[in-house]
A and B are shown apart, each in its own frame.
Chain A
Amino acid sequence: MRARRAAAFLAGLALGLAAAAAAPAQELSVSLAGGVFSPSSSAYRGIYGSGAVLAGDVWLKLHGPVGLAVGFSRLSDKGFAVAGDGGQETYPLEFRRTSVPVVAFYQIKVGPAALRLGAGVGLHSYRETWTTADLEYKGHKAAPRLMLAAAVKVAGRLSIFGQACCESIRTGRGTSLDVNVNVGGVQVLGGLSFRIF
């Protein structure tokens, strides 16, 4: 599983580098951010609430205002199984989602800030685990991704960075809580961006 994630990440990175090699890159930057995830599924919200996300992206401006971003994000969440039929036990759950987004973006300069509007695809790998029971579910899905990011230069090559992403990741699986669980939603991140060139 870990090897597959690494392979997906490397594939995305290779795609970005290939694009950079194919066209004369104007700017290359990396960002690291953390934030919150707000799920769109009420079933997800009921079990896990909001989750914590860590993300890293490579931003490559290729031609004029157009660029490509490749990243890696990790969502981690904890919750409890929903008891039915009078159940009074407590079964803790963990949900992990690893994503490799590839997004084409359009950059607009507004003073010291750079606004980036993007759309692309996210490759998602997710796993739900019952901590005290031998139950687990794993899945993979590719899903469209919309992105809005902003970077404001603070010193030299360093910028304050913010990002909001929206994804709909319908898994095609579920229980009576939600027969087709959507593990996507909106994530809002903040962090730093460093311009390499």
Chain B
Amino acid sequence: MKRTKVCLALILASIVLLSARPGPARPDRPAGRGGALALVRIPKTATLPLGTLVRLGIDVRQDLATCLLALADRDDMTMLRRSGIRFSVLDRNAPRPEYLLVETGLPGALDSLRAAGRAVAVEAGTAVFWTERGSAAAEVPAGLPSKVLPARSVLPYLRSRPAAAAAAPVAAVQDPLVESIVSLVSSSSLAADVQTLQDLQTRYASTTNCESAGDSLYASFSALGLDDVHFESFTFSSGYTSRNVVAEKTGESFPGDFYIICAHYDSTSPSATRQTLAPGADDNASGAAAVLGAARALAGYPLDYSVRFVAFSAEEWGLWGSRAYADAARARGERILGVINLDMIAYANAVPEDLQIIVNDSSAWLADLFAIAGAQYGVVTTARMIDPSIIYSDHSPFWDNGYPALLAIEDYPLNNPYYHQTTDTLDRLNLDFFTAAARGATGLLAGLAQPIRDGYPAAPARLTAAWETYRSLFNTLAAVNLEWDAQADAAGYNVYRTTTSHLGYVKVNDEPIVGTSFSDTGAVSGGEYYYVLTAVGPTGLESNRSRENAWRSAAAVPAAAASSGRTIRPAGPRGIR
């Protein structure tokens, strides 16, 4: 009898425990919705209501140039239809263990993909690929870049916004300090680092040689005296494990704000050889060496912002390392301000070679800054491409998590005949182009991270902006009121404003501001403005910039206020213009 009671209690406890287990992973979804899941394609149209997708809780997993890919159940599909949002079903048996997005721009690519598993074209040059069982990543034909479908919804980071403005040349003054940092990036050390990685024969993720490459990078970063160097392990493609190598130089003014320079260190070659020979000099020992070069150059300089130097693994399997890293960073709520991803930056099919900078709309400013840094410090020409469908490198998981990121690559589409071949070796590389690209990237990173100069005031730590309006019977005066903390080494402050994040700052005060607030009446309601503040020391030396403070107005004020060229002088004791 007693044994029966114990058995009953165990059975009841098991039922309770089983019923308490979470169901299939459907993050970002309200509970209680059911039905079989399908992978669907939602065409992007000019009128696609992103707000409706958010309201319906649609599990959007990938943003591409012409469509969104989402997991949807029957209820979702019914609501989409009722909302007038068109979609097509790609796979009725979702979720699979792995969906991969595969680049199919090359002739015959889609056919070879279909021979390896199930593949559905979702837009020109992009297909979704899966297999009925096992690892889809392992089945992707050699030479086809791939990306595993994000594990979480990317919908929170999609914004309805106009396309980024055309890249415009921005005049900027060369910074001697940044120039001296950049000069530490040498072609000899870049070549030596590529050789070291190439000498491992293969760095195909899942091989011990790849782990040795990680160890080598770890040792190199550790030798630089950075603040932190560690591995971050992750699992990929149904059970393999590998490690990202993460090195950090902590910022002195803004330690919680990060800029990242990264590259993958794994490599691949045709399936018959990749376990034993995949030298991957251009793809991507070149990027990893440039990251190492940037770390060497910056190691000895105190910086305002924190910088992380990250070498990812398992990129060639579908961006698994960067996905693990970016997802974890978002989960931790890390403030990553910009990501510079270097992938294949050393092969020149023509001389002079230019560097392609690939960004999405939210990251266009990074490409424009790279253009400036490339011209100033790398002597390399860059070409900006805004295309959210170019997702086959480690910048893409950062986009999926709402972080600005760029991909620097020698050509897109690729022109390297040794790509993913056993012949991708150091002797095929153009060291001048490689060095210029690495220096440009380092110059960009140094400019963003802001080296601290002796004898200069510190960068102001806090800047807040608030919209204010003042109305009379017939006019409205709109102003952005800026406030900051006083700092002991400052005799005054300068306020800079721009309408494009990080680019084209214009000083809005005539004389250094004495005080800790300023009312900028040059902003117009309905616009988007970015402000930075500098401190001016007693001898006139100007500090690095504060953190950028973005301000967006909620609504436009009547046109009477929208005149420009006004001279505004509040009667109160605060800001003076």
State the A residues within 8 Å of B (CB): 41, 43-44, 47, 81-93, 95, 128, 130-137, 139, 171, 173-178, 181, 183
Residues from chain B with a CB closer than 8 A to the CB of A139 are 474
Q: Is the CB of B571 within 8 A of A91?
A: yes
C-alpha spacing A81/B471, complex, angstroms? 5
Q: Is the CB of B469 within 8 A of A85?
A: yes
Q: Flag whether B568 is at the interface (Cβ < 8 A).
A: yes
C-alpha spacing A85/B553, complex, angstroms? 11
C-alpha spacing A125/B471, complex, angstroms? 21
Residues from chain B with a CB closer than 8 A to the CB of A86 are 466-468, 481
Residue from the list A83, A137, A171, A183 in contact with B470, Cβ < 8 A: A83
Q: Is the CB of A176 within 8 A of B476?
A: yes
Residues from chain A with a CB closer than 8 A to the CB of B481 are 86-89
Given A88-B574, A132-B570 in contact, is the A44-B473 Cβ separation under 8 Å?
yes
C-alpha spacing A83/B566, complex, angstroms? 18
Counting residue pairs across A and B whose Cβ atoms lie within 8 Å, the total is: 115
Q: Is the CB of B475 within 8 A of A137?
A: yes
Q: Is the CB of B470 within 8 A of A91?
A: yes
The minimal Cβ–Cβ distance linking B496 to chain A, given in whole angstroms, is 21
Offer 16 A-B interface pairs, CB within 8 angstroms, sorted by A.
A44-B473, A87-B470, A87-B479, A87-B481, A88-B468, A88-B572, A88-B574, A89-B468, A89-B479, A91-B477, A131-B571, A132-B570, A134-B565, A135-B477, A175-B471, A175-B473
Q: Is the CB of A130 within 8 A of B477?
A: yes
C-alpha spacing A178/B473, complex, angstroms? 7
State the B residues within 8 Å of A (CB): 466-477, 479, 481, 519, 521, 557-558, 560-561, 563, 565-572, 574-575
C-alpha spacing A166/B467, complex, angstroms? 39
The minimal Cβ–Cβ distance linking B551 to chain A, given in whole angstroms, is 12
Provide the main secondary structure of the chain A interface. loop
Q: Is the CB of A81 within 8 A of B472?
A: yes
Residues from chain B with a CB closer than 8 A to the CB of A93 are 472
Given A89-B479, A89-B572 in contact, is the A130-B472 Cβ separation under 8 Å?
yes
Q: Is the CB of A82 within 8 A of B468?
A: no
Residue from the list B466, B467, B475, B563 in contact with A175, Cβ < 8 A: B475
The minimal Cβ–Cβ distance linking B10 to chain A, given in whole angstroms, is 62
The minimal Cβ–Cβ distance linking A14 to chain B, given in whole angstroms, is 32
Chain B residue nearest in CB terms to A93: B472
Q: Name the residue among A47, A133, A183 with the largest chain B CB count within 10 angstroms.
A: A133
C-alpha spacing A41/B472, complex, angstroms? 13
Chain B residue nearest in CB terms to A83: B470
C-alpha spacing A13/B293, complex, angstroms? 89
Q: Is the CB of B472 within 8 A of A132?
A: no
Residues from chain B with a CB closer than 8 A to the CB of A41 are 473
Residue from the list A83, A91, A131, A174 in contact with B473, Cβ < 8 A: A174
C-alpha spacing A88/B573, complex, angstroms? 10
C-alpha spacing A178/B557, complex, angstroms? 14
Given A89-B479, A133-B566, A135-B566 in contact, is the A128-B474 Cβ separation under 8 Å?
yes
C-alpha spacing A147/B558, complex, angstroms? 36
Q: Is the CB of B475 within 8 A of A177?
A: no
Residue from the list A85, A92, A173, A176 in contact with B468, Cβ < 8 A: A85
Residues from chain A with a CB closer than 8 A to the CB of B575 are 89
Given A131-B571, A133-B477, A175-B560 in contact, is the A84-B469 Cβ separation under 8 Å?
yes
Q: Is the CB of B570 within 8 A of A175?
A: no
Chain A residue nearest in CB terms to B475: A135
Residues from chain A with a CB closer than 8 A to the CB of B468 are 83-89
Q: Is the CB of B473 within 8 A of A87?
A: no
The minimal Cβ–Cβ distance linking A96 to chain B, given in whole angstroms, is 12
The minimal Cβ–Cβ distance linking A135 to chain B, given in whole angstroms, is 5
